[in-house]
Amino acid sequence: MHLHILGICGTFMGSLALLARERGFTVSGSDAGVYPPMSTQLEAAGIALCEGYAAENLSPRPDLVVIGNALSRGNPEVEAVLDQGLAYVSGPQWLAEQVLPGRRVIAVAGTHGKTTTASLIAWLLESAGLSPGFLIGGVPRNFGVSARLGAEGAPFVVEADEYDTAFFDKRSKFVHYRPEIAVLGNLEFDHADIFPDLAAIERQFHHLVRTVPGKGRLLVADGEPALARVLDQGCWTPVVRFGSEPTSPWRFELEREDASRFRVIHQQGQGDERIDEDAVVDWPLTGSYNARNALAALAAADLCGVDLARGCAALARFETPRRRQEVRGEINGIQVIDDFAHHPTAIAAILSGLRAATARGRLLAVIEPRSNTMRLGTLSARLAESVAAADAAFWYQPSELDWSLAQVVEASPVPARLIEDLEALVAALVAEARPGDRIVVMSNGSFGGIHEKLIAALEVAHG
């Protein structure tokens, strides 16, 4: 069977392509932006890629077209699918029908941390010999691929996005997955292009809650008012809290300020029957937000039979997913770090975590605001303060951003520069950098290949 995927280089759709290929489908796809790491993953799997959208990409005629949520009416390939009467489906529906039946589904939802948490759960299950399947919106380096089927009947971990499903299905993606275990890590306003306010997103999260069976579990972060409001709308599944509050049955206590070492306490039972077990995590990640992600993963793995001591030991061997605190290179003591952070909360969290990790050199933040929410300027008032933990900030003004970052630079609590040309940005960073510095590049896109260009320029100037 020939499957053709529109938007194939998106993190979700690319992962879907890998699952389809593993299942034996002939897979091809189209995208307007073909760049690593997804493009190289797909090519290595023998998947044919078409650059750009055109009716000609549908020849030979596919048996089924999977349409990504970035595609809409007016796209020439979408119009050709409709005009030719081709069978089509959304990515989440295809996953729900072709991969998830008969599997114990673990869905990871939240505004931030989904990719890391889903990767952590998959790794904990793998380390316990359970050979899970997974679909993750990034490339977990412990596996080297963003998706796989896993062993027959093994748990399946899916990154559960609240973004809409397709132009013909405006429900959030995660309502298709019907998980037995759902992780709700956090919730705040995002996706301003499709949601008018936070209450609208809370309603979608409640739709997810409605799909979790009574025999399942909701693993819910403590200290999250929006998630509390979601559960107040009705809940039919046992809720297990995790976080740092003393009353949560899963909680952590930092043993190092940067969260590279912390103690996990798991409370089981109540009153005279209460039993507390604890273990220490000593791992390569930093930031209390990552400790919280790990806690959620340990709780999910526990429900699948992975004991706490084994899980904590496995975390020492966890490698961050690609584009999450990923060190892309180091030249003469100058580190270039890549991170996907694209929301003020995420930017602040990654910088604070790196700041606490070491006193080494300066922390230089390089940011491209390019998500749909950023393009609308909805959270622009929070951007300036998000870099407070850095020593300096370099803001890149992408051409598609229809408001000026000058106001962000003017309000910055640290020295900041606004640069509109990529080559000029690389030159400015090379001129500024000195041994011991960490340059943290943050964007949810390819950022014009800045990482490779910056590393090459640093090698010339500082190598």
Q: State whether CATH 3.40.80.10 applies to domain 2-90.
A: no
pLDDT at 274: 65
| Unique residue bearing structure tokens 């039972």 | 269
- Predicted local confidence at residue 37, as pLDDT: 65
Token couple for 344:
């003020």
Average pLDDT value for the chain: 88
**Residue-range domain boundaries for the chain:** 2-90, 100-315, 326-462
Question: The dihedral of CA 226, 229, 230, 231: what is its sign?
Answer: positive
Superfamily for domain range 326-462: Mur ligase, C-terminal domain (3.90.190.20)
Contacts of 306 (CB under 8 A, 6+ apart): 124, 125, 127, 128, 130, 298
Cβ-proximal residues to 103 (8 Å cutoff; 6+ apart), any chain? 133, 153, 154, 155, 156
Distance CA(146)–CA(11), nearest Å, equals 8
**Cα–Cα distance measured from residue 152 to residue 102, given in angstroms and rounded to the nearest whole number:** 9
Do residues 382 and 190 touch, judged by C-beta distance below 8 A?
no
Backbone angles phi, psi at 287, to 5 degrees: 95, 130
For 180-258, strand residue ranges (E) read 181-184, 217-221, 239-243, 250-254
* 94-98, 149-153, 263-267, 448-452: range with lowest mean pLDDT: 448-452
Binding-site positions read 110-116
DSSP-assigned states of every residue in 270-315: -GGG-EEEEEEEE-S--SHHHHHHHHHHHHHHHHTT--HHHHHHHH
- With beta carbons less than 8 A apart as the criterion, state whether 220 and 240 touch: yes
Helix (H) or strand (E) holding 236: none
Residue 140 has pLDDT above 90, yes or no: no
What would the mean pLDDT of 96-100 be, rounded to a whole number?
96
Query: Mean pLDDT, to the nearest integer, of 305-311?
Result: 94
Measured between its terminal Cα atoms, the distance across the chain in Å is 51
pLDDT band at 194 (very low <50, low <70, confident <90, very high): confident
Would the CA dihedral through 205, 208, 213, 219 be positive or negative? negative
Higher pLDDT, 373 or 180: 180
Determine which helix (DSSP H) or strand (DSSP E) holds 427, and give its type and residue range.
helix 422-432
- pLDDT at residue 38 above 80? no
CATH class of the structural domain 100-315: alpha beta
**Known binding positions for ATP:** 110-116
Pair of tokens at residue 262? 């912390």
What global pTM score does this model have? Answer: 0.78
The per-residue pLDDT for 321 is 63
The yes-or-no verdict on residue 452 having pLDDT over 90 is: no
